[in-house]
Amino acid sequence: MTWVLLVFGVSCATAAAVSLWPPQRPGTVAVLMWPVGWLVGELPLHVLALWTGTGAVLVSLGGAAAWPGWLGLVALALALAGLRQHLVYAAVTTRKIDEVLGPDPAPAPLPWKALALVLPFRPRRITRERDLEYARIDGKPLRLDVYHQDGAHHGPGLRPVFVYVHGGGWVIGNKRQQGRLTVHELAAAGWVCVSVNYRLSPRATFPDHLIDVKRALAWIKAHIAEHGGDPRFIVIGGGSAGAHLASLAALTAGQPAYQPGFADVDLSVQGCVAYYGVYDFVDGDRHFRHKAFHDLLLARIVMKQPLARASELYERASPVAQITAAAPPFLVWHGDRDSLAPVTAARTFVKTLRATSRARCDYVELPGAQHAFELFPSLRSVAVVHGTKRFCQALHAAWQRSALTPADSR
């Protein structure tokens, strides 16, 4: 049993080290180690209980009777110190958000029950209309879900709209798995939220994914009023690959190449929220420290041609290259421990936005956060989605003030 405790302690210490200093290369190692760092970093309280309880059981069974067990306890203590550091990181998240968005006039209490359950269950007062068809490609339907408060169809006035685009490296994922915390938070605040599916690679080749997202926006513009939403005010957002697609959709309104057959439809949006996104397919500044992103994921699966032969297409697929002075307001979230989407690329994207766009661009860099930090309730994600709501509410309030006519103000 002493050797079991040693192996357990060393395993915990290794997991804690990976969460604090995630490997960036080679690409295979970065991808394989990401779930370890992600779970430890986002669920430090749960992991603390698990590791402490397991260690106590092993000690009670005689695990500390000889030197291997003692070494195991030392390694476990180091692992618990790493968990403490993640709790410190989570505790400063609200302060980091307030530095960017300003002091919060109505801080949200921690939902301890949701934190304990981990899974993002939909609140009872929120209705989900599932699997609404927004387009049909080659005989196959593309679907979306609409979330809103009960009775939103019959309430006074139309509600602002938030559209979430899921991530998954352009190859996996669906509308039911991601963004639930964000759409639940905004729907509870009176928004009408939409979560969309789109075609995935390797069957789909870029820009199929983006064209589908724009088809969803066209459907929303035409039909969301039937569900209580205001088609005049839409904020789009997403995580990872979804942040890439949402950012591109926000920056390329009216570009015929991305709106085949519906180029005359106004798909402009009033804001964009990007969680841990990818913003530069060309990657001329070498933010990615390994070749797997370009040589495998993009060249063989998503774009299906290498950068050397399709540099113009790669540039058009890069949100950072599509920024203009007319870009809508952005809120960009990124973790400084992200091993899948480098934080340096997010910084470059934000720097370019701020230098070019006339609209606001808020950027919150989260200490200790890995990729996909808002998928389930955690001390960090609760603060993050509340910050997203504050940003969206501020945009809508400013839009309402600008939309008032002299008669409205009397």
Average pLDDT over residues 150-163: 79
Q: Is 338 assigned a catalytic role?
A: yes
Kindly state whether residues 82 and 108 are assigned to the same domain: no
Kindly state whether residues 108 and 127 are assigned to the same domain: yes
CA–CA gap between residue 25 and residue 43 (Å, rounded): 24
Residue 305 domain-assigned (yes or no): yes
Kindly state whether residues 311 and 364 are assigned to the same domain: yes
Kindly state whether residues 62 and 122 are assigned to the same domain: no
* Helix, strand, coil share (%) of the chain residues, nearest 5: 50, 15, 35
CA–CA gap between residue 189 and residue 162 (Å, rounded): 11
Report the chain's mean pLDDT, rounded to a whole number: 93
pLDDT digits (tens, 9 = 90+) for 38-77: 999 999 999 999 999 999 999 998 988 888 889 999 999 9
Residue 318 domain-assigned (yes or no): yes
pTM of the shown model: 0.94
Residue 154 pLDDT greater than 80, yes or no: no
Catalytic choice (338, 339, 378, 396): 338
Catalytic choice (166, 371, 386, 396): 371
Catalytic choice (201, 240, 247, 339): 240
pLDDT bin (cut points 50, 70, 90) of residue 151 is low
- CB-based contact 76:9 (threshold 8 Å): yes
Which of 91, 114, 129 finishes a domain?
91
Average pLDDT over residues 125-148: 96
Kindly state whether residues 114 and 42 are assigned to the same domain: no
User: What is the per-residue pLDDT for 155?
Assistant: 58
Q: Is 240 assigned a catalytic role?
A: yes
Residue 235: give the domain boundaries: 101-409
3-state class of 274 per DSSP? Answer: strand
Residue 225 pLDDT greater than 60, yes or no: yes
Q: Provide the domain count of the chain.
A: 2
Kindly state whether residues 143 and 210 are assigned to the same domain: yes
Residue 96 domain-assigned (yes or no): no
Q: Is 195 assigned a catalytic role?
A: no
pLDDT bin (cut points 50, 70, 90) of residue 156 is low
pLDDT digits (tens, 9 = 90+) for 353-390: 999 999 999 999 999 999 999 999 999 999 999 999 99
Residue 183 CB contacts under 8 Å (≥ 6 apart), including other chains: 147, 162, 164, 193, 195
**Least confident span in 145-149, 310-314, 397-401, 404-408:** 404-408
Average pLDDT over residues 319-334: 97
Q: How many CB atoms lie within 10 A of CB 298?
A: 25
Residue 253 pLDDT greater than 70, yes or no: yes
Q: What is the dihedral of CA 168, 124, 228, 223, to 10 degrees?
A: 40
